């Protein structure tokens, strides 16, 4: 039996938050439905930021409500603070991701507090979620942004990443996401940091969030896979490029990630043809937004599906 690997779609959050043109709610829901129909079972559907700060995600409640109606879908949301956690809890989302930056400078510029203060905020989020009854209690993950480098501070100390990972694990994180927010990571460092952090916080799951800004996104996925990680964030068409660097790629491309995992023999549950077809739907809704990705351009290798079926039958 082949091993499972999880592809977590974050395009509706990480992708859309950097796009100024507001995608109407019904088109977000159509995108969500199409990825769900393609077999994607974990989607970060929005972020609970104040609508004034990010008008693109002002329809968070409506998107979450719809996502929760899809059976078997793990509905995940980003929460920037306690207020966001309250909104997520009220709606009954399955997973909330609190994000703090390993880099002090990045954290201060993002949320105007020190990383240590953000860890305290995370503690309060966990405490709040523990007031919910156990059954519907959401899993609270903690994303460590700039874990592999920072545009403000440059290199990030690996020992600091480990310390913060242990701190948030002790604070009650249900999972940790190591994020290469600005695409500075390289495979040797990624494998090393994943191995160490995973050993430090075991058995807590550690997921990867990579950006392809410098072309190393999938290489970094492979490095994290080698270290034992089995869950990865990605964005349809690689949406989520930096708004200040036109044409720069953002998140790794969901279709390419799913292809790589499937080709390596991991089971993702995703129908690649149907997933690739979702690009057209998003393209019609956002015609000016450049989509990235190799597999959609090149097509699947000849007999790709047949060889996968033969392997499954072995
Ligand atoms: Zn990101």
Each domain of the chain, given as residue ranges in start order, spans: 6-313
Domain 6-313: give its CATH code: 3.20.20.70
Does 1 have pLDDT greater than 70?
no
Mean pLDDT (whole number) for 73-100: 96
Annotated catalytic sites, by residue? 242
Mean pLDDT (whole number) for 89-111: 95
CA–centroid distance, residue 102 to ligand 1 (Å): 14
**What pLDDT does residue 243 have?**
55
CA–centroid distance, residue 66 to ligand 1 (Å): 23
pLDDT in tens, 234-273: 999 999 865 555 556 789 999 999 999 999 999 999 999 9
pTM for the predicted model, two decimal places: 0.95
Mean pLDDT (whole number) for 192-221: 97
Contacts of 199-206 with C-beta under 8 Å, sequence gap 24+, read 200/162, 200/165, 200/166, 200/169, 201/165, 201/166, 201/169, 201/176, 204/169, 204/173, 204/174, 204/175, 204/176, 205/175, 205/176, 205/230, 205/231, 206/165, 206/175, 206/176, 206/177, 206/178
CA–centroid distance, residue 212 to ligand 1 (Å): 10
Mean pLDDT (whole number) for 146-174: 96
Cα–Cα distance between 230 and 250 in angstroms, integer?
21
**What pLDDT does residue 305 have?**
76
Sorting pLDDT into bands at 50, 70 and 90, what band is 274?
very high
pLDDT in tens, 37-63: 999 999 999 999 999 989 999 999 999
CA–centroid distance, residue 211 to ligand 1 (Å): 6
**What pLDDT does residue 240 have?**
84
**What pLDDT does residue 134 have?**
83
């Amino acid at each position: 039996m082949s091993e499972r690997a999880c592809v977590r779609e974050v395009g509706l959050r990480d992708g859309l938050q950097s796009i100024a043109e507001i995608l109407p709610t019904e088109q977000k829901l159509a995108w969500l439905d199409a990825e769900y129909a393609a077999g994607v079972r974990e989607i970060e559907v929005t972020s609970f930021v104040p609508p004034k700060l990010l008008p693109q995600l002002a329809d968070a409640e409506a998107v979450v409500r719809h996502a929760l109606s899809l059976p078997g879908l793990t509905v995940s949301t980003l929460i920037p603070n306690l207020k966001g956690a309250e909104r997520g809890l009220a709606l009954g989302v399955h997973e909330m991701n609190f994000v703090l930056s390993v880099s002090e400078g990045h954290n201060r510029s993002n949320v105007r507090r020190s990383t240590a203060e953000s860890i305290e905020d995370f503690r309060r989020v966990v405490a709040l979620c523990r007031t919910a009854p156990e059954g519907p209690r959401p899993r609270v993950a903690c994303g460590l942004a700039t874990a592999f480098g920072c545009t403000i501070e440059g290199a990030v100390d690996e020992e600091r990443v480990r310390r913060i990972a242990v701190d948030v694990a002790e604070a009650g994180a249900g999972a940790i996401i190591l994020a290469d927010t600005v695409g500075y990571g390289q495979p040797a460092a990624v494998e090393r940091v994943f191995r160490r952090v995973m050993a430090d916080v075991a058995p807590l799951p550690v997921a990867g969030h990579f950006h392809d800004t410098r072309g190393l996104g999938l290489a970094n996925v492979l490095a994290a896979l080698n270290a034992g990680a089995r869950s990865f964030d990605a964005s349809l068409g690689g949406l989520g490029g930096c708004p200040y660097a036109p044409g720069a790629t953002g998140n790794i491309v969901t279709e390419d990630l799913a292809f790589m995992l499937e080709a390596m023999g991991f089971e993702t549950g995703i129908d690649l043809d149907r997933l690739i077809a979702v690009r057209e739907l998003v393209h019609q809704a956002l015609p000016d937004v450049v989509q990235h990705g190799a597999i959609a351009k090149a097509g699947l290798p000849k007999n790709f599906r047949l060889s996968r079926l033969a392997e499954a039958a072995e």
